[in-house]
Amino acid sequence: MQVTPSGQGLGARVEGFDVSKPLSHEDYKKIESLLGQYGVLCFSKQNLTGAQLKDFSSKFGTLEVNVANMYQEPGHPEVMILSNKKVDGKPIGLGDAGQDWHTDMSYSKMIAFTNVLYGIEIPHRNGQPLGSTEFSNMRAAYLALPEELKKKLDGMTVLHDFNKFWENMRKQPGCTRPPLTEAQRKAKPPVSHPIFLTHPITGDKILYANPGYSIQINELPQKESDEILNFLFAHQLQPQFRYQHRWTAGDVLMWDNMGTIHNAVADYGPDEHRFIKRCQVMADRYFPLAA
Ligand code: OGA
Ligand code: MN
């Protein structure tokens, strides 16, 4: 494997590795360590089936089948389709996934470790790729916090709510998501996690809060919690912590959902097609007690 750091706040390109081949234990350990170090890895020029994407991803932990139970690769429900394409007027994938800064599954008792996305069709305009995925480095964000605030927040916990992201999406023009029903909200009650997590791969402290799902610092009164969360949401998006992945078809993009937050840039139109296959890997191998 040849590893080239992006030169930005996180991210690296990995060449000389074939994601479609069975993964050796040695390569697994190497990739795990690179993920901890760089947060986002791009394996370029890949050629995979959905089943091969699933096999590779499942080496890193249990795969989550998306709650919507829609837009799945036939025969492989763990492989989800992200796309704005339609066949006979019907969407063939989730068209608005991840379009705000968030960390996947922070609203779940078992958090997510990594997502593995395989880009098959990438929209372009005037020769430039559209529909980038942006990332920000939560180890760097933690380190750059004022010492006073690190001390004050140490040991505190944050409440994460799936409904926050859902309701924000519903405010977007053209969104067709209905409000969550009482039963859906009951199935996804808000959950708490430490505001500073110790990263299970690197041992570094990271800021584990994100604008998409975090609603409250439990140990603080509402007003102070709102003020500090708003400060953290601005702080964690500073340009020096960031990397923008401009997709090329054939990229397999893999990121650490504990040490990073991400955002899907919705800068393409309905006729500019994006088609990506995705697996979501849970962090159960690092946090077995939460399973
Ligand atoms: C995701 C996600 C970003 C993208 O798959 O979790 O947020 O750019 N996707 O599609
Ligand atoms: Mn996401």
Pocket of ligand 1, beta carbon within 6 A: 82, 97-98, 104, 115, 117, 133, 262, 264, 276, 278
Ligand 1 atom closest to Cα of residue 278: 5
Name the residue among 165, 212, 202 with its Cα closest to residue 185: 165
Other CB atoms within 10 Å distance of the CB of residue 143: 14
The string over 245-269, giving b where at least 16 C-beta atoms fall within 10 Å of a residue's C-beta and e elsewhere, is bebebebbbbbbbbbbbbbbebebe
Starting from the CA of residue 134, give the closest ligand: 1
Residue nearest to atom 7 of ligand 1 (CA): 98
Question: Which class would CATH give 2-284?
Answer: alpha beta
Ligand 1 atom closest to Cα of residue 265: 8
**What residues pair up with 255 in beta bridges, in sequence order?**
40, 115
Q: Per-residue pLDDT tens for 101-113?
A: 999 999 999 999 9
- CB-based contacts of 136, cutoff 8 Å, min separation 6: 9, 10, 101, 236, 237, 238, 241, 242, 243, 260, 261, 262
Ligand 1 atom closest to Cα of residue 80: 5
Is a pLDDT exceeding 80 seen at residue 283?
yes
Q: Best substitution site from 81, 100, 278 to test ligand 1's pocket, by max atoms within 8 Å of Cβ?
A: 278
In whole angstroms, give the CA distance from residue 280 to residue 113.
8
Q: Per-residue pLDDT tens for 224-280?
A: 999 999 999 999 999 999 999 999 999 999 999 999 999 999 999 999 999 999 999
pTM: 0.96
Q: Per-residue pLDDT tens for 69-119?
A: 789 999 999 999 999 999 999 999 999 889 899 999 999 999 999 999 999
In whole angstroms, give the CA distance from residue 28 to residue 8.
25
CA of 149 to the centre of ligand 1 (A): 31
Residue 291 pLDDT:
62
Q: What six digits make up the tokens of 230?
A: 């708003």
Going across the sheet that includes 12-15, the strands are: 2-5, 12-15, 40-43, 252-256, 112-121, 275-282, 76-83, 72-73
Task: Report yes or no: 80 and 279 within 8 Å, Cβ to Cβ.
Answer: yes
In whole angstroms, give the CA distance from residue 246 to residue 251.
10
Residue nearest to atom 2 of ligand 1 (CA): 98
CA of 139 to the centre of ligand 1 (A): 21
Residue nearest to atom 1 of ligand 1 (CA): 98
- Which residue intervals of 9-126 are DSSP H helices? 25-38, 50-58
3-state SS of 94-105? ECCCCCCCECCC
pLDDT band at residue 177 under the 50/70/90 scheme: confident
